Amino acid sequence: MKIKNNTQILLNLCILLVGLALATSGIIRIFQNISEVDPESVLQVIFPVLIGLGVAMSSFFRILKPRTGVVGDERTKRAVEKAGLYALLILSGLLIASASVAGILQLNINFSLAVIVLLYIGIFSWGILAYYFDKKGDLE
């Protein structure tokens, strides 16, 4: 049983490193192509960053998850629901703020790309808040 846990942790650590490497390569490409404003080139550069961060975050949370074998209780369910509410509020606030800034400053923003970025922000904030609220309940 201990060998299986160590193998799973090692596998998740390798997946974490691959995700970080993918995100880092995308960030390096962003800095190399910073002068290009073509939406197609932005999509080609931003997707590896978002996918790499998604893979890294999921494996990070999988490493930190305790292996108790117990299904979540009512407290965990409430923590996930509370995190979902806060993630929705964060997502709505960011969308309203970005649209307001774009309207006030009369920026020409392609919101089809902004929706993808805001979606990832919402997913990451939900995951981080769910983990935080679940751990916060353990300390009380």
* Averaged pLDDT in 10-residue chunks for the chain of 140 residues: 66 83 80 64 73 81 68 78 90 84 77 73 84 68
Angle at 50 between CA 33 and CA 123, to 5 degrees: 145
d(CA 26, CA 51): 10
Q: What is the pLDDT of residue 140?
A: 47
Angle at 122 between CA 95 and CA 102, to 5 degrees: 20
The amino acid present at 43, given as its one-letter code, is L
d(CA 140, CA 38): 51
What tokens does 85 get? Answer: 């509410």
Q: What is the pLDDT of residue 61?
A: 77
Q: What is the pLDDT of residue 86?
A: 92
d(CA 113, CA 96): 15
